[in-house]
Each structure stands twice: as structure tokens, then as C-alpha cells.
């Protein structure tokens, strides 16, 4: 779906992209993360044909971005912060206009508009002039526009901005259903904890350079110590059993739960076996490493 090789983008005194190479397949939600100024927006603009790279090459759906940027944009939808809007329009008229651009019939437009406005949580201000909307509300109107598009690839920049918890859950379900049909989402956000609920593969960019790519499991395996929190029936006995039988970096009881750091991630399955053998009930065992910790470690050169 997306292939980029050695992408570079230079401005007067800044290299915004430093030879980035990545591949994004069909049917996945691909997360692209980094701090402000890392190069995320520049990379998306290059992939969408909105700005020219100064080095490297890229293709989107088999189309050369540098050679045919308009053809690329005809088959994608982009959610980004819009600096110019149709201020005098209401969201209803704005979305209806874009539905006409997509050659939707009247009944199809109405159905698509209702579904998108519900997912993006904009029903409360559908008939208010866009000029009177906050930046967060405008972002949600733009999101609704993207949700109405019938294209195989969408680029989403902070799609959950200003959306409440209930509608975020609906959006996650919608995007998962969307990619299950062979479509692709290229997703950026500052919220890595929330991203773990939706992203299939992560890519981290720092100072214009790609520093890590992989699934959450792969990246945690590579960059984080195998840490777990266990809620068990007998923490004291469980602590002794595990300490006697496994190589541990640390083990301690924290507020009635057992916190352990294994020397080898592969020993995680042995934890349950040992405790069950000793008659200790395991109510919960969860990994405590987060993708935020992965990013912090990779950005420090870990």
C-alpha cells in the first residue's frame, strides 16, 4: 500500500526527514509517532504528494508519489489541521458539499452524513456556522468528512482530538472494521497509551529519522524489561515460590499485588505454572510496559 525508500526533505537549515524507509501493507492500522517537530507532518505531506521530497522515492497504492501526486490524492482521504475552512457554511452543508464531490446520490449522502456525524460526535453543532466552532470542533468536522470517503487509504492526524470516550470506542471499532476489508489507516497521535488499543504496527520518528518499527509485542520485547503485575490469592507465598524457582531481576509486593521483573521474557509462562502447582490462585497477570516507555527508550538511543 505504501512504500518509501530513503525519503529526505531539506529546508534551508533543517533536515526534516532523514532517509526514512518504511512499508505499510493493506489491512493494517499503521501508527506513526514522535514529538512535535519530529517530522511526522512533513512525512505525511510527502506521502500524500502535498510537498516534494528532496531525496528518495515513495509509492502509494503502486503509484509514484513524485511522478503522479494528483493520482495519489484521488484515492486517499486526509485528516489534518485545516488552516482554511468554509467559514460561512454549517457542518451539514460542508459535508453535503463533499458528498456531492464524491458523486453520492441523495439517499447515499444522507446515510453517509448521518453515520459520519455520529462517529465524529458533531450532531450537537451540525447547523452552527463553522466560523463559530472551536478548533477541536472543526477537527471533528474534518474527521466526519474523512469518514464519508470511500477510499482504500486514509491518513489520520490526531483523529480522537476532542472526541469523548464513548465515541472514541465507536471510532476504534469503525477503523478496525474498515481495515478488515483490506483498507489501510496511517495514524498519528500523541497518545501512545490509547494507540495501543488500535494500532497494528508502530513506527517512531525522532529528529527526522526513523528509529524503530514493529508491533507492540516486538518493540516491548526488544526495548523493555519483561515486567508484570500479578494479583494472586497469597502474595507472600507466591513471592517465595517465584524467587526460589526463577531468575528474576526484582520481585516485590506492592499494595497487595506482586510486581516482578523477569530476566528472560520467555519465563512468563513458567510463572503461572509454578503458582498453579503450589495451589495459588491467579486473578490477573498483566504486562506493565507501555509504548510510551518504548518511545522514551528508543528516543534516548536505548
Section 220-227 average pLDDT:
86
* Confidence band of 64 (pLDDT split at 50, 70, 90): very high
229: Cβ–Cβ under 8 A, 6 or more apart, which residues?
A: 254, 257, 258, 259, 284, 285, 286, 288
Domain 225-299, CATH number (from 1.10.1370.30, 3.40.50.150, 3.40.30.10, 3.30.70.260): 3.30.70.260
* Confidence band of 84 (pLDDT split at 50, 70, 90): low
Which tops the pLDDT comparison, 264 or 260? 260
pLDDT > 70: percent of the chain: 97
- Cα-Cα-Cα-Cα dihedral of 72, 74, 79, 85, to 10°? 130
Q: What is the rounded distance in angstroms from the CA atom of residue 214 to the CA atom of residue 161?
A: 25
Residues recorded for the chain: 302
Q: Which CATH superfamily is domain 2-220 in?
A: P-loop containing nucleotide triphosphate hydrolases (3.40.50.300)
Question: Does position 166 have pLDDT exceeding 60, yes or no?
Answer: yes
* Confidence band of 128 (pLDDT split at 50, 70, 90): very high
In the chain, ranges of CATH 3.40.50.300 domains: 2-220
In the chain, ranges of CATH 3.30.70.260 domains: 225-299
| Residue 81 grid coordinates | 489541521
Task: Report the DSSP pairing between strands 29-33 and 184-188.
Answer: parallel
Look at 13-17, 193-197, 218-222 and tell me which has the smallest mean pLDDT. Answer: 13-17
pLDDT for the residue 223 = 87
| Residue 94 grid coordinates | 460542508
55-60 β-sheet, strand order: 15-24, 2-10, 55-60, 63-64
Task: Report the DSSP pairing between strands 63-64 and 55-60.
Answer: antiparallel
Amino acid at each position: 500500500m505504501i512504500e518509501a525508500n530513503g525519503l529526505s526533505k531539506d529546508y534551508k537549515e533543517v533536515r526534516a526527514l532523514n532517509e526514512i524507509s518504511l512499508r505499510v501493507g493493506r489491512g493494517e492500522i499503521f501508527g506513526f509517532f514522535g514529538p512535535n517537530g519530529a517530522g511526522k507532518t512533513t512525512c505525511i505531506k510527502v506521502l500524500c504528494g502535498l510537498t516534494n521530497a528532496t531525496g528518495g522515492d515513495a509509492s502509494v497504492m503502486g503509484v509514484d508519489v513524485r511522478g503522479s501526486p494528483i493520482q495519489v490524492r484521488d484515492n486517499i482521504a486526509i485528516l489534518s489541521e485545516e488552516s482554511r475552512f468554509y467559514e460561512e457554511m454549517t457542518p451539514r452543508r460542508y459535508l453535503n458539499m463533499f458528498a456531492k464531490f464524491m458523486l453520492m446520490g441523495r439517499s447515499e449522502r444522507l446515510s453517509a452524513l448521518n453515520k459520519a456525524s455520529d462517529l465524529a460526535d458533531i450532531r450537537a453543532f451540525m447547523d452552527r456556522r463553522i466560523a463559530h466552532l472551536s478548533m477541536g470542533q472543526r477537527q471533528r468536522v474534518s474527521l466526519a468528512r474523512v469518514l464519508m470517503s470511500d477510499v482504500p487509504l486514509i491518513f489520520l492526524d490526531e483523529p480522537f482530538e476532542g472526541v469523548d470516550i464513548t465515541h472514541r470506542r465507536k471510532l476504534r471499532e469503525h477503523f478496525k472494521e474498515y481495515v478488515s476489508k483490506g483498507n489501510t489507516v496511517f495514524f498519528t497521535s500523541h497518545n501512545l497509551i490509547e494507540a495501543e488499543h488500535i494500532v497494528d504496527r508502530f513506527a517512531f520518528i525522532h529528529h527526522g529519522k526513523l528509529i524503530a518499527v514493529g508491533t507492540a509485542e516486538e518493540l516491548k520485547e526488544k526495548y523493555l524489561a519483561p515486567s508484570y503485575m500479578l494479583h494472586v490469592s497469597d502474595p507472600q507465598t507466591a513471592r517465595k515460590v517465584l524467587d526460589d524457582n526463577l531468575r528474576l531481576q526484582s520481585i516485590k509486593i506492592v499494595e497487595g499485588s506482586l510486581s516482578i521483573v523477569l530476566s528472560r521474557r520467555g519465563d512468563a509462562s513458567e510463572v503461572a505454572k509454578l503458582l498453579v502447582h503450589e495451589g495459588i490462585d491467579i486473578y490477573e497477570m498483566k504486562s506493565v510496559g507501555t509504548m510510551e516507555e518504548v518511545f522514551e527508550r528508543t528516543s534516548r538511543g536505548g
